[in-house]
Amino acid sequence: MTPAQTRTRDYAGLASACRHLTGDRLARMSGFVDAAWAALASGGVSWLGFYLTAPQNAESLVLGPRRDKPACSPIGLHGACGRSFTQGLTLVVPDVAALGEGYIACDPRDVAELVIPLFDESAACWGVLDLDSYSHGAFTAHDANALHACLVAAGLTSDKPPPVVVVTNHADRTPERKRPMASAFDREIEDIFQQLGEQGADPEEPLHWIFHLALPEGQGDDRAQELSQLADATLGDSDPEDGGFFANPAHMTDINEDSREETITIEVAVQVVAAMGLEEVKSRAARVEAFARANGLTPAGVDATDPSDMDDLMDWMTLEDAQWQLSHHTDAGLEAGAPVPWVFAIDAQDTDVLDSVRLALDETGLGRTFFDSMEDPEGDDDDEPEEFLFLHVEGVNDNDRLADCYQRVEAIVARGGAELLGVQYIDVVEDGDDEPEA
């Protein structure tokens, strides 16, 4: 962080905005982060937000209002936020490596941090303001004092500034820390590269890498979805199509070979599709493990496969293929009878034929019909999108019911002189007053 960048931080404007904040503490915190982000984001601040006392756990802090992306929550008291909270100190951290193993890495790109404790009228600490940066040495005591004055103006802390400590202890930094951090995935990654070498795989071809992170027992799909979004926000430094990370919740099924009992683990699958060498994959894996440690997840293995062709995945399926995919979803943990949207695609050379088939399908009450455009599956890439008829059915995870519905639709379409292209498990989104779109 250069002096010129530091001067772009508009603390005078922020203090002025803070003096106009009203409402309860939560409202003023929300107003503060919005004003602070507007004033500081261009000055090298990558994230800022509040961490508050956890109502049911004295050994952790929970995330409050923040900008401009999600972050770890709850967090323990072993990191910079916890130290600031428990000791009542403002911590300026020019290089987070000085924090050693206590550093909580919500975003592995962050390398500098500033934490300011917040006190109520009785001098009790009720939370901290935390700021991060991608630049070493991004924060100074000047930033700490200026932000404290802004917090006072917002009515979020007492007038007395807390002691400012610049954390520069590098005692536990060793030469090894300059190399990519070894991860729990490294042995498996080495095995995968050995197998690829034995198979004569082309190192220039991309692979689909999947890093499995298991949730603690008792945490469910909602938490997996939340953590997947957090992984996208913190690890996703580039577009997935350009080799960036992406994540989604998943179920891992383990079958005991002796008892045949199934154990289903809910996980976050962090993925990347790219052509990478051994050391680059290990470096990526270290970032994934840092995210896992910060969020209470357990590394549970890594896979590498040929990249999935998304065009093939979205092909319209025959009944046999659709039933196989439903069975696969069931094996992965989808409950029998769970909602699964079925969308059937129908084509004809004559629009009058499609209109007639639509009327016949409407009479069955199977679902909603609508017209929409898509590229012709049999056409060339340069062809203009054509209009097709679609039937959206509120289906379920039941192969017998799917077969019955598929065969009824197929018979109606054939009688009308049209062609059933197949079925897909895709949802339909309402678009204002227009017809729904697949």
pLDDT tens-digit series, residues 331-342: 666 788 888 889
The tens digit of pLDDT for each residue in 393-406 reads 999 999 999 999 99
Of the candidate CATH numbers 3.30.450.40, 3.90.1580.10, 3.40.50.720, 3.40.190.10, the domain formed by 3-166 belongs to: 3.30.450.40
What is the maximum span of the chain, computed from C-alpha positions, in angstroms?
Answer: 83
Confidence of residue 265 (pLDDT cuts 50, 70, 90): low
| Mean pLDDT taken over the chain | 81
The reported pLDDT for the residue numbered 349 is 80
pLDDT category of residue 45 using cuts at 50, 70 and 90: very high
What was the pLDDT predicted at 372?
A: 76
148-182 per-position pLDDT tens digit = 999 999 999 999 899 999 888 644 333 333 333 45
**For residue 346, what pLDDT is reported?**
94
CATH superfamily, with its number, for domain 313-424 = RraB-like (3.30.70.970)
* Span 231-259, average pLDDT: 69
Higher per-residue confidence, 220 vs 297 = 297
Alpha-carbon separation of residue 339 from 29, 216, 427 (angstroms): 40, 26, 11
Cα–Cα–Cα angle for 273, 277, 280, rounded to 5 degrees: 80
Which distant-in-sequence residues (6+ apart) come within 8 Å of 1 by Cβ?
44, 112, 133, 135, 136, 137, 138, 139
For domain 185-307, give the CATH number: 3.30.70.970
Mean predicted confidence (pLDDT) in 374-382: 53
What is the distance of C-alpha 115 from the center of its chain?
A: 25
Q: What percent of the chain has pLDDT over 90?
A: 34
Mean pLDDT of 241-267: 65
* Same topology between domain 185-307 and domain 313-424: yes
231 confidence band (pLDDT: 50, 70, 90): confident
Structure confidence at residue 255 (pLDDT): 45
Give 299-317 pLDDT, tens digit per residue.
888 888 777 444 444 478 8
What pLDDT score does 345 carry?
92
Residue predicted with more confidence, 31 or 57: 31
Sheet containing 368-374, strands listed edge to edge, beginning at the edge strand earlier in sequence: 368-374, 386-393, 342-347, 419-424
Could you state, in order of their start, the residue ranges of all structural domains in the chain? 3-166, 185-307, 313-424
